[in-house]
Amino acid sequence: MYILFFILGLIIGSFLNVVIFRLNKKSLKGRSHCIFCKKKLHWHELIPLFSFFLLKGKCKKCKKKISIQYPLVEFFTGLIFVLISLKTFNLDIFSILITFFWFIFASFLIVIFVYDLKHYLVADKVIYPAIFIALIYILFLFLFSNGLFPSLVFSYLVSGLIGGGFFLIIVLISKEKWMGMGDVKIGVFIGLILGIQLLLVALFLAFVIGAIISLILIFLNKKGLKSEIPFGPFLTGACLTSFLWGDFLLNWYFNLFLWKKDLH
Where the chain has pLDDT below 70, the residues are 26-31, 34-36, 38, 43-45, 146-150, 224-227, 256-264
pLDDT for 28 equals 63
Among left, alpha and beta (phi > 0; psi -120 to 50; other), residue 122 is beta
For residue 198, what pLDDT is reported? 94
Domain extent, residue 102, equals: 95-254
Percentage with pLDDT > 70 across the chain: 88
Q: Which of 1, 22, 2, 5 is nearest to 77 (CA)?
A: 5
CB contact set of 109 (below 8 Å; sequence gap of 6+): 236, 239, 240
Q: Are residues 111 and 130 in the same domain?
A: yes
Q: C-alpha distances in angstroms, 140 versus 34, 163, 247, 263?
A: 41, 21, 22, 45
Decide: helix, strand or coil at residue 46.
Answer: coil
* 58 & 182 share domain: no
Predicted TM-score (pTM) of the model is 0.90
d(CA 259, CA 151): 33
> 126 and 215 share a domain?
yes
195 and 219 co-located in one domain: yes
For residue 89, give the nearest of 70, 102, 76 by alpha carbon: 102
237 in the same domain as 155 = yes
Domains of the chain: total: 2
Q: Please give the pLDDT value at position 36.
A: 64
Cα(254)–Cα(246) distance, rounded to whole angstroms?
Answer: 12
| pLDDT at position 72 | 94
261 within domain boundaries: no
